Amino acid sequence: MFKIKNKSTDELIKLSSAIRERIISVVSKNGGHLSSPLGAVELIIGMHKVFDISKDPFIFDVSHQCYAHKLLTDRWDKFDSLRQFGGLSGFTKPKESDADFFVSGHSSTSISLSVGAAKASKLSGDGSVPVVMIGDGSMSCGLVYEALNELGDLKLPVVIILNDNEMSIAKPIGAISKHLSRLLAGQTYQTFKKKIDKILTKYVPNSGRYIAKRMEESLLLITPGIIFEEMGCTYIGPIDGHNIKEIIDTLNIAKNMQKPVIVHARTTKGKGYKIAEGHFEKWHGVGPFDISTGEQLNKKTKKDATTIFSDALLDLASKDETIVGITAAMPSGTGIDKLIKKFPNRFWDVAIAEQHGVTSMASMAKKGFKPFVVIYSTFLQRAFDQIVHDVCLMNLPVSFAIDRAGIVGADGETHQGQFDISYLRILPNMTIFAPRDDETLKYAVEFSANINSPSAFRYPRGSYKQLKCPSTTFEYGKAELLQDSDSDKVFIGFGSGVATAYETAEFFDETITIADLRFVKPLDEKFLIELSKKHKSWFIFSDSQKSGGVGSALLEFISCKNLDVRLKIFEYDDIFVQHGEKELLLESLGLLPRQIADAIKNNPHL
């Protein structure tokens, strides 16, 4: 690990420049998060200077900003492997380093983790102080306030660095607020406050203490920290999140307070790389790019599924004023930014508040609207209870457009879209279907809008593969035979699995029957029964989890109907899929078409 405890401020400033150069160099080649890690460099250096990484839990919210932390903890030489298959994760990962306290890839868990760590510290008496870095965007999630509520009550020693790089929690009022914030951050004010509290407690009647308390609160009212103070946490700031001396001085004060402290630090996203500095969403997560120009390399030549979906929904919303929708902090990632811009009164970004977003759309459905909830598969997990309690129980026509279904690649196990079929299929009243190509994705949008009950359709990150079969509209609960033959084998695909079925079939000399299941709930029972009369070997292809997935649904059906067929499932095993290039991940799972074909040919029982 870097020995920075005895380094001077000037040495730390030079170190921050070296770290930025390393981050820019690697991310320009590998892709990854860029603007957030660059903006957090000095704050992370300050954390390592003031706190003891061998004892104090370092907790990063989401943790996409943790690259400087990785570079300071024995991963400088390995950093070239960032987000590559078998290399460093783009997020904190304890299996990778003891310096990483927790796996983190979803927002707003950090303060809850710090409360647990502080409780453990108190019980064990190890004297550790958890230190948290959380971005201001994460403060839109209710989990943060649940944690702050308990932390403020328990008064356990936790230091929370609020990395404010996009927006203020509450806009400060001019120069007076800035001056008062500096005063509140200083040791002089904090010492004075403690002395006054002791004097008031001992000598001043209750009425006097009340007046004094109100005077202090009147100062806080014109600073951004009143909400934290009201929740029982001391607020310090705003401070300059790129001034290393100010950061270190402030963190030392906060650590020595031995109670919950919020340190509000103002930073610039993309700091040190001029092209990316400021609030540019496109620099949050990037593919490989040219450092000198900022131009993205390997640009897409084909429309991706997200663009196909958003264009289709925009067209539908232009014709039907009852179409409304939300996304959760991913307007451009889901393509909903176009609809928010055109229909600001009908489409909303609810921020990192998936639970609220789903329930609010349930209410709109109750009032006669046709809501679309557009969220990545991995983040929709956060709203599971709301889907159960507020949508399915009421049998309301909310459409769930599930982006990033299946393997997403370099973001890894916290972001793979592998579980949505498994956790939605168990719910009464839910319809689950999947398009297989660009055109059927367009059909899926219109079809979902016209279902008078909850429905969910899923589509992958990136582009669909071109298929040999024509695109057809959806008929409720109906599967489709795409290629017939006299073979005993039938390849049954679902969604992107249809393309895998076709590619796998090319490795066989015989013509293979291929079917698109289209609906995993409800299943097309009549179609499947007829299929079983002619084809006794079924092979299932879907980019989802095997446990509770498409194959599981078919096994349940086969068992229930006592069908005489053999079934082999090609879905993800009972693991969390790691990070890396999609093709390499599929190869590691044995799910490339050539591997599947070999597995079928080499098993005489199939």
What is the residue whose two structure tokens read 């309301």? 396
Write the CB contacts of 283 (distance below 8 Å, at least 6 apart in sequence). Answer: 34, 35, 269, 270, 275, 276
Task: State how far the Cα of 372 lies from the Cα of 464, in Å rounded to an integer.
Answer: 22
Catalytic residue check, 269? yes
Catalytic residue check, 83? no
Active-site pick, 75, 93, 255, 269: 269
Active-site pick, 42, 166, 229, 354: 354
DSSP state of 417: B
Closest CA to 69 of 96, 41, 90: 41
- Amino acid at residue number 85: F
Task: State how far the Cα of 213 lies from the Cα of 97, in Å rounded to an integer.
Answer: 46
Task: State how far the Cα of 67 lies from the Cα of 387, in Å rounded to an integer.
Answer: 35
What are the distances in angstroms from CA 166 to CA 135, 136, 361, 497? Answer: 9, 7, 27, 39
- Amino acid at residue number 513: T
533, containing H or E segment: helix 525-534
Task: State how far the Cα of 212 lies from the Cα of 231, in Å rounded to an integer.
Answer: 19
Residues β-bridged to residue 345: none
Closest CA to 85 of 30, 135, 129: 30
Q: How many CA atoms lie within 13 A of 540 on its CB side?
A: 23
The token duo for 251 is: 């963190």
Closest CA to 169 of 99, 220, 243: 220
DSSP state of 249: H
- Are residues 541 and 492 in contact, defined by beta-carbon separation less than 8 angstroms? yes
Catalytic residue IDs: 269, 354, 382
